[in-house]
Chains A and B, each alone.
Chain A
Amino acid sequence: MDLALLEALNAERAARRACVLVTAMDDGRQRLVTAAQAAADPLAGPIAEALRSGRSGMLTLGNERVFLTAHVPAPRLVVTGAVHISQALAPMATMAGFDVTLIDPRTAFATAERFPGVALHALWPDEVLPRIGLDPFTAFAALTHDPKIDDPGLAAAIEAGCFYIGALGSRRTHATRLERLAARGVPEAGLARIRAPIGLDIGAVSPAEIAVAVLAEIVATLRQRPAAREKAA
C-alpha cells in the first residue's frame, strides 16, 4: 500500500467518514473508495453493502479476487436528557461498544457525579450538536420529555441521517411531537424514522429495563439486515 493511500484512509477515518479499500489479491493494486464516490464505482453494489454493514469481505469477479476492507466509524450514541433512564443506558451502551455522549442544559441533571466517565454537555442541543457532528453511524435518543430540548435534537438527527432515532413518550405525546416537528419543516419521511414509543416492546417498567429495551432496539437497527428487521417487526 502506498503511504499516501494509507494517509488518505486514515484521514477519512479520523473525520468519521466511511470508506472502502479495494485490493486485488493477485498483485496487490489498490484504490480507496469514499462513501461519496461509492455510487459511481464499478463495484457500487458490493461497496454499498460493505459501507452499510461495516463488514469486510472477499469478492470473486471471474478469475479475479478482490478484497474489500470496510472502514466505518465506531457507532456512537447521543442522548438528550441526563435522566434516570440515561444513568442505566450510558454504561450499558458503553459496554456494548458505543461512544456515548449526553446532552442536557439542566445543570442539576447533567453532573459528573450522576454520570461518571461519560462525555457530558450541560448545554442546549443547538450549541453542542454542530460541534460534535451527528452522522449515519450515530444513534440518537431523546429522553427528556421536554420539547425545548428534545425537538431540536430530533430535527438535527433526522437531518444528519442518524441510523437510529428514538424518542421517549406515549403515543399521544408523540402525536403532538410530530405536529411540532412538521411545523419546524421536518419532512414526512424524516418524521416516520422516529421510533416512538422508544425501545423494543419487552414490557419494560423500571428505568434500567427501559434502557435495555432502547439499547436492544439500537443494536437491532445497527446489526440486522433490513429484511430481517421487517420480519422481526
Chain B
Amino acid sequence: MFAREDDVLEAAARWRREGRGVALATVVETWGSAPRPVGSHLAIDEEGAFLGSVSGGCVEGAVVAEAAEVIAGGGPRLLEFGVADETAWQVGLSCGGRIAVFVEKVA
C-alpha cells in the first residue's frame, strides 16, 4: 500500500499511544538508482505490521526483522543494502542501487 509520509509518522505515533512497540525506519543515504528517496519512512510495530516503504518492497522484510530487535531493546542501527553485499541476492535491490536505512525505536 502506498502511504503518504504524513500517514506513516501519524501511524507510528498512534500505534505507540495505543501501547504497541514501534520502530521507525528512515532512508538516510542512497547511491545509484534507488527506488525511494532519502527521507522516506517505514513504520513497524511489534507484530511486524508496517506502513510506508523504504525501497518499494525489495528490502522491507529484512528491515522489519531488524526492527523487531530494535523494539525488543536494541539501540538504533544503521543498515545497508545493495548489490555489492553477498546477501543482496536474497534481500537486494533489483535496480542495482544501494541504500542505507536508519532504524530507531519510538519510545
Question: Taking beta carbons and an 8 Å cutoff, which residues of A are in contact with B?
Answer: 1-3, 6-7, 9-10, 13, 23, 25, 27-28, 55-58, 67, 69-70
Contact = CB atoms under 8 A, between A and B. Distances in A.
Interface string B55-84: 000000000000000000001101000000
B104 A1 contact: yes
A25 B75 CA distance: 11
Nearest to A73: B6
Given A1-B24, A1-B106, A28-B76, A55 B6 contact: no
Given A6-B13, A55-B39, A25 B106 contact: no
Contacts of B9: 6, 9-10, 13
Given A3-B13, A3-B107, A10-B13, A57 B38 contact: yes
Q: Closest 10 interchain pairs by CB? A: A56-B39, A28-B76, A67-B28, A6-B13, A56-B38, A3-B16, A28-B104, A1-B106, A58-B29, A69-B39
A7 to B, nearest CB: 6
Contacts of B17: 3
Contact residues on B (Cβ < 8 Å of other chain), bracket:
20 to 34
Interface of B: 6, 9-10, 12-13, 16-17, 24, 26, 28-29, 37-39, 75-76, 78, 102, 104-107
A56 B29 CA distance: 9
A55 B104 contact: no
Given A1-B105, A3-B13, 13 more contacts: A1-B24, A2-B107, A3-B17, A3-B107, A6-B13, A6-B106, A10-B9, A10-B10, A23-B104, A28-B104, A55-B39, A56-B37, A56-B39
A155 B26 CA distance: 40
Contact of B75 (A13, A28, A56): A28
B76 A58 contact: no
B6 A13 contact: yes
Contact of B16 (A6, A58, A67, A69): A6
Contact of B102 (A2, A3, A13, A23): A23
B38 A27 contact: no
Contacts of B6: 13
A3 B28 contact: no
Nearest to A7: B13
Report which residue of B10, B13, B37 has the largest number of chain A beta carbons within 10 angstroms of its beta carbon.
B13
Contacts of A69: 26, 39
Contacts of B16: 3, 6
Contacts of B13: 3, 6-7, 10
A135 B94 CA distance: 40
Nearest to A23: B102
Contacts of A55: 38-39
Contact of A70 (B24, B39, B104): B39
Nearest to B103: A28
A70 B28 CA distance: 11
A3 B106 CA distance: 6
Report which residue of B16, B28, B37, B106 has the largest number of chain A beta carbons within 10 angstroms of its beta carbon.
B28
